[in-house]
Structure 1
Amino acid sequence: MSQIDIGADQDRVDAFNTEHSVGSWVRYWTGTRQDPAKSGQTRTEAQLLSGHTPVVWVTGHGAP
């Protein structure tokens, strides 16, 4: 089992938030990156979901 690097994940979240404010247009994928990208606006800052998975909520997709 691989060890989770929470520090690196938090660094990615912080970098995303520095570059993209809430309401920014972003590309996202709901499957693999071989699938076509979709675009939408961020509804939240990026955050660590359950303390280990970087996420950002996008308008028109997902919960909250």
Structure 2
Amino acid sequence: MNAEQFNARYPIGTPVIAYPGCRPEDDPNGERLVTRTRSRAEVLGGHTDVVWVDGHSACINLTHIDPFSATDNSPEARAARWVPSNPRPLCHYFRQKSDPAAYWCANCGWNEDMHADEARRLAIAEALKCLPASATR
């Protein structure tokens, strides 16, 4: 996908997994960031399609960016979409906030449904490990 195609599909702020050095199929130990785009994609030096993401100072080649679809409801996709906004671990015991935010946990800020699903708990824990250090509170 080139920069023009990327910009047509994904606005600034799109949740992505970014691989700054190399993709996991090339190096399983490579860096992996669960983050968001912070710029429009552009062509760097007239030859490389890149985008900037939160938590990383350099641009990243679009071949090393995996956007998350808004319709993907897998635990992994949901965690990756929400973790940049709430970089706190999911607690084990849901404690309801007072209205109007009663659906959200007063302890950790995650919603009630996430507390009841071990797959979601593991997905959030994995996504937190990949969050840029600058995003943690």
The answer, yes or no, to whether TM exceeds 0.5 is yes
Larger relative contact order (CA 8 Å, sep ≥ 6): 1
Residue 27 of structure 1 is matched in structure 2 by 17
Q: 1-side partners of 2:21 and 2:58: how far apart?
A: 16
The unaligned stretches of length 5 or more in structure 2 are 25-29, 60-137
Counterparts of 1:1-64 in structure 2, within 5 Å, are: 12-34=2-24, 35=30, 37-63=32-58
Deviation at 1:27, TM superposition (A): 1.2
Over residues 15-52 of structure 1, what are the superposed CA-to-partner deviations in whole Å (9 max), with x where a residue is unaligned? Answer: 11111100111111022212353221111100001111
Residue 84 of structure 2 is matched in structure 1 by none
Radius of gyration: which is bigger?
2
Q: 2-side partners of 1:31 and 1:23: how far apart?
A: 21
| SS of equivalent residue, structure 1 residue 27 | strand
**Structure 1 letter corresponding to 2:10:** H
Deviation at 1:56, TM superposition (A): 0.3
Residue 3 of structure 1 is matched in structure 2 by none
Q: Give the alignment's Cα RMSD to 1 decimal.
A: 2.0
Percent identity of paired positions between Structure 1 and Structure 2: 37
Residue 6 of structure 1 is matched in structure 2 by none
Higher strand share: 1
